[in-house]
Structures are given as C-alpha cells and as structure tokens.
C-alpha cells in the first residue's frame, strides 16, 4: 500500500471514529447532521465526489489517456471515502 493510501486510511479512521462518537443521522436530526457531514467531507476533499459521476476511461497510451486514468483513480478514491463517511454516520435503519 502506498504512503498516500496509508495516510488516507488513517485520516478516514480518525474522522469515522469522531463521527461515531457524535449523534448519527436518525431521521429526526437531518439539518445538524447535514451541516456536520458537509464539513467533514469538505475537510476530506471528498465533497465534490458526491456530485460528480465518472466512468472508467478506455485504455490507451496517449498523454490524455493517462490524465483521464489518473483523474478517474482520484475520483474513485474520493467517492469511496465519501461513501464510507456517509454510511458510518447513519443509523442502520436509515441506511
């Protein structure tokens, strides 16, 4: 695992632990939960992943293909981070 992935995993664990200590989304507390979760996702630089959909680019050897692959990989990491964060901050029956 690369240093970047290790670092991201540690940050995610830390944030998820903090979220689990506070009140999770339960159906009655959406406004406060929404404000908190937006802040957390913004700090993780993952908020934009919720509003963006990307398809895996086709294989190729051009510079543009490499840029597209890198952009997709970055989006995929942020999307996973956002999903984990959201799911870990909700009560099971709300998920």
Condensed to tens digits (0 to 9), the pLDDT of residues 45-95 reads 899 998 899 999 999 999 999 999 999 999 999 999 999 989 988 988 888
Chain-centre distance of CA 58, in angstroms?
Answer: 24
Domain assignment present for 50: yes
94, part of any domain: no
Is residue 95 assigned to a domain? no
Residue-wise pLDDT for 32-43, tens only, equals 999 888 888 888
Please report whether residue 18 resides in a domain.
Answer: yes
Q: For residue 83, how far is the Cα from the chain centroid?
A: 5
| Total domain count, the chain | 1
Please tell me whether the overall predicted TM-score, pTM, comes out greater than 0.85 for this model. Answer: no
- 93 is a domain residue: no
81 and 50 in contact (C-beta within 8 Å)? no
Q: For 28, which DSSP code?
A: S
Containing structural domain, residue 19? 3-88
Q: Is residue 70 part of a domain?
A: yes
């Amino acid at each position: 695992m690369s240093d970047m992935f290790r670092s991201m995993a540690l940050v995610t664990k830390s944030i998820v632990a903090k979220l689990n200590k506070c009140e999770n989304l339960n159906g009655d507390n959406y406004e406060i939960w929404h404000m908190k979760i937006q802040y957390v996702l913004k700090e993780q630089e993952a908020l934009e992943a919720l509003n963006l959909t990307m398809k895996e680019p086709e294989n190729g050897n051009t510079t543009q293909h490499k840029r597209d692959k890198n952009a997709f990989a970055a989006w995929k990491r942020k999307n996973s981070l956002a999903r984990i964060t959201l799911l870990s901050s909700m009560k099971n029956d709300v998920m």
